[in-house]
Amino acid sequence: MSGFEGERIAKVIARAGICSRRDAERLIGEGRVKLNGAVMASAAVNVTARDKILVDGKPLPQKESTKLWRYHKPAGLVVSNHDPEGRPTVFEKLREQLPRVLSIGRLDINTEGLLLLTNDGELARFLELPATGWIRRYRVRAYGHIEDAALEKIANGVEIEGVKYGPIEARVESGQGDNRWLTIAIREGKNREVKRICEYLGLQVNRLIRTSFGPFSLGDLARGGIEEVPIKVLKAAVGEKFFKGNDADRRRKIQRT
Ligand code: URA
């Protein structure tokens, strides 16, 4: 097959909603993916409608229409498919209510608020890309003193222990004693970024709530509540490309057995 034809196999597997593209590459590395009857040795292969893909011996599942959900994550749940420490996970909690979904990025165990979930691995990847640059907004309760000058210092970005953060919008909302409520807005999705930025400012976070992610807000979604984003709203936010050739068409392409 020509290297320029079709799409990377990991992308096709991710789009079928089985897992992320990176996990698909791992499955290939573990010899769990067969292409046209042969175990794949490398992920650097393009596939087309003519190819037959099996993961763990099973054809790719029929692809549902791309969907996105807003979930109000409570504190105490891990955003992971499996927690080695046996703590409860978001995905176990939602198993009864949702099909197989992936989260758009992660929130720490004690972080609350808006977590976006999707059944489309490619959409998840796209929304996590730094180039997509959607703003994440947080309300933060933190302990310590804060000067306006410190907030101005981070407005154009900052490097903390070798990690570069882009512009950060931070504002003190209110506070009594040594506890403050702040709002922090940032366009990235780095590990523990809000806590690290607060630590850098001399503050210790004791509550963290994500209130929005790009155009989607937590709004008045009840804690633990989940709501599907209407398809029209989703299309307006991410464009038509995740819907072109979706459903039947993609199914035909991916699923052909
Ligand atoms: N920043 C953090 O420190 N934790 C989160 O869960 C999200 C952003």
Tens-digit pLDDT profile for residues 140-177: 999 998 888 888 889 999 999 999 999 999 999 877 77
Instruction: Please give the Cα distance from 154 to 172 (Å, whole number).
Output: 14
Q: Which atom of ligand 1 is nearest to the CA of 107?
A: 6
Question: Own/partner pairs for 170-177, CB < 8 Å, 24+ apart?
Answer: 170/197, 170/201, 172/146, 173/139
Residue 193 lies in a domain: yes
Q: Is the CB of 192 under 6 A from ligand 1?
A: yes
Enumerate the β-bridge partners of residue 35: 38, 53
Give yes or no: residues 100 and 206 share one domain: no
Instruction: Pick the residue whose CA is nearest to atom 4 on ligand 1.
Output: 192
pTM of the model: 0.78
Give yes or no: residues 112 and 220 share one domain: yes
Give yes or no: residues 205 and 139 share one domain: yes
The yes-or-no answer on residue 108 being catalytic is yes
Enumerate the β-bridge partners of residue 207: 141
Q: Is the CB of 78 under 6 A from ligand 1?
A: no
Give yes or no: residues 196 and 100 share one domain: no
Give yes or no: residues 98 and 224 share one domain: yes
Residue 254 lies in a domain: no
Residue 247 lies in a domain: no
Tens-digit pLDDT profile for residues 234-252: 999 999 888 865 544 444 4
- Residues of the chain falling short of pLDDT 50: 1-4, 247-257
Range of the domain at 75: 68-131+215-238
Tokens of residue 168, six digits: 């950060």
Among the listed residues 184, 16, 229, the one whose alpha carbon sits nearest the alpha carbon of residue 102: 16
In contact, 181 and 139? CB cutoff 8 Å: yes
* Number of independent structural domains in the chain: 3
Which member of 23, 83, 108, 148 is catalytic? 108
In contact, 79 and 181? CB cutoff 8 Å: no
- 116: domain CATH number is 3.30.70.580
